Structure 1
Amino acid sequence: MIYDIRHVTTYNYESQVSFARCSLRLEPINSAGQQLVSHSVDIKPAPASRTMRTDFFGTRTETVLIENPHRVLRIDSRSRVYVERSTPGRGDDSPPWQTLRDASFDSSDLSAASPIGYVFASPLVPILDDVTAYAAISFPDGRGILAGAVDLMHRIRTEFKYDPKATVISTPLQEVLEKRHGVCQDFAHIMIAGMRGLGLPAAYVSGYLRTIPPPGKVRLQGADATHAWASVWCGKRLGWIGFDPTNDILVENDHIILAVGRDFSDVSPVDGVIVGSRKQKLAVAVDVLLVE
């Protein structure tokens, strides 16, 4: 499948901003099952400089400096991506989760693809006893990693309510667990924290969902903005598998990967600092269209 993606971020400031430094993570990655065909970002006002780097996780990050005074900052990202993934079935066999836990800690590979980088706490995903206990219900002794992750994903989907007004990025994970309300970032963080608490590698993935579903299928939650899900290491044979707890589905061809990291703080599409306005309004619009 080929997708055209448009991601427009607009900041409206209460008063004039004299300087802005932004980090943009808006270029979809090239990975197994996904190929970036084209990508461009238009920024108004025009930046004084633009520099590109690739971070440890393989995310292309652009740093822009804006020195013209402005009240509105508009970042218009457009990409074309080819997606063709092979995903295991929900009931397929997989190694026992304890075997993968032990293999993760025995790994001597320190690359971004290594499981060892995703088993420890990270800035937005602490290891919490309550979250670990919640996840442990899905992982009795000897259960396959795939079956356990599917069960945990399903429980989050059925026991938590999608509620965009319930949380913000800074809402503590303990509060999300207690409220059982939140959005895709919260559900991904809960799943990741629970699995890491058991010693299992889980990464945070930001990306997009197909906006218009195939005929006969329901529209997925999170399709109007950037989406988030978990990626779980399922051993050398299966590799990293995506699990979307917001929609209770394995990641296949309706998902486009933007970036991978330990949690949202590693992959925020746009962040930075400004000199000027005390108040601002943020608007984000995302379109993901299948190219016929």
Structure 2
Amino acid sequence: MIYDIRHVTTYAYEGAVSFARCTLRLEPLSGHGQRLMSHHVEIRPRPIERTMRRDFFGTLTESVVIEAPHRHLRIDSRSRVEVARKAPGRAVQSPAWERIRDIAFGANSLGPASPIGYVFASPLVPVLAPITAYAAASFPRGGGILAGAADFMHRIRTQFRYDAKATVISTPLNEVFENRHGVCQDFAHVMIAGLRGLGLPAAYVSGYLRTIPPPGQPRLEGADATHAWVSLWCGEALGWIGFDPTNDLLVENDHIMIAIGRDFSDVSPVDGIIVGSPKQKLNVAVDVLLVE
């Protein structure tokens, strides 16, 4: 499938901003079952400096400096991406989860694809005993890792409530877990925390969802903004498999990846600092349209 994606981020400031430095992570990935065909970002006001680099995880990170006084900042990202991936079935035989845990801890590489970098706590995902115990109910002794992760994902989908007003990025994970509500990034963080508590390597993935579902299928939660899901390392043979706990889906062709990291702090699409206005309004609009 080929998608056209438009992602527009607009800041409106109460007073004039004299200086801004932003970090952008808006270019979809090539690899992991998808191919980037084109990408362009237009910024107004025009930056005096734009520099690009790949971070440790392979995400294109653009640093932008704006020195012209402004009260509005508009970042308009447009991409075309081809996606072709097939997830294994939930009932497919897979290695015992304890075996995957042991192999991950025995990894001898520290590269971005190595599972060892995703088994420990990270800035926004502490390992918490209540969440580990909650996850453990899906992983009986000797159970397959795919079946366990699929069951854990299903329980989050059915036992947590999607509520866009319930949390903000600074809401502690234990509060999300106790209240059982939040948004896609919260559900991804809960699933990652549970998996890591069991010693399993789990990464955070940011991206997009197909806006208009196929005929007869329900609209997915999170389709009007950037989305988040989990990538679980299931051993050398299966590799990294995507799980979307917000929608109880194994990731296939409705998901377009932007970035991979340990948690949201590694993949925020736009962040930075400004000098000037203490108050601002943020608006984000995302369109994902099927071309072919």
Q: TM-score range by the shorter chain?
A: over 0.9
- Paired residue for 1:209? 209
Q: Supply the AA of the counterpart residue of 2:277.
A: S
Distance 1:128 1:80 in 2: 39
Distance 1:277 1:91 in 2: 54
RMSD (CA atoms): 0.4
Instruction: Note the C-alpha offset of 1:288.
Output: 0.1
Distance 1:205 1:32 in 2: 11
- Paired residue for 1:22? 22
Q: Supply the AA of the counterpart residue of 1:233.
A: W
Instruction: Note the C-alpha offset of 1:109.
Output: 1.2
* 2:112 is aligned with 1:112: yes
Structure 1 moving runs of 4+ over 4 Å = none
Name the SS of the counterpart of 2:116 in structure 1. helix
- Paired residue for 1:83? 83
- Paired residue for 1:245? 245
Instruction: Flag structure 1 segments of 5+ consecutive residues without an equivalent.
Output: none
Aligned positions of 1:86-165 closer than 5 A? 86-165=86-165
- Paired residue for 2:175? 175
- Paired residue for 2:48? 48
Distance 1:274 1:221 in 2: 32
Distance 1:256 1:109 in 2: 27
Instruction: Note the C-alpha offset of 1:86.
Output: 1.8
Name the SS of the counterpart of 1:141 in structure 2. coil
- Paired residue for 1:11? 11
- Paired residue for 2:255? 255
- Paired residue for 2:34? 34
* 2:220 is aligned with 1:220: yes
Residues 98-131 of structure 1: CA deviation (Å, up to 9, x unaligned): 0000000000011100000000000000010111
Distance 2:216 2:86 in 1: 22
Distance 2:111 2:217 in 1: 38
Instruction: Note the C-alpha offset of 1:63.
Output: 0.2
Distance 1:7 1:206 in 2: 13
Instruction: Note the C-alpha offset of 1:264.
Output: 0.1
Distance 1:68 1:124 in 2: 34
Q: Supply the AA of the counterpart residue of 2:103.
A: A
Residues 48-71 of structure 1: CA deviation (Å, up to 9, x unaligned): 000000000000000000000000
Percent of aligned pairs with the same residue?
75
Q: Supply the AA of the counterpart residue of 2:133.
A: A
Instruction: Note the C-alpha offset of 1:76.
Output: 0.1
Q: Supply the AA of the counterpart residue of 1:228.
A: A
Distance 1:155 1:85 in 2: 25
Name the SS of the counterpart of 1:52 in structure 2. strand
Q: Supply the AA of the counterpart residue of 1:183.
A: V
Instruction: Note the C-alpha offset of 1:183.
Output: 0.2
- Paired residue for 2:285? 285
Instruction: Note the C-alpha offset of 1:32.
Output: 2.7
Instruction: Note the C-alpha offset of 1:31.
Output: 1.0
Distance 2:86 2:166 in 1: 35
Distance 2:97 2:104 in 1: 11
Name the SS of the counterpart of 2:35 in structure 1. strand
Name the SS of the counterpart of 1:236 in structure 2. coil
Instruction: Flag structure 2 segments of 5+ consecutive residues without an equivalent.
Output: none
Instruction: Note the C-alpha offset of 1:87.
Output: 1.1
Distance 1:143 1:11 in 2: 48
Q: TM-score, normalised by structure 1?
A: 1.00
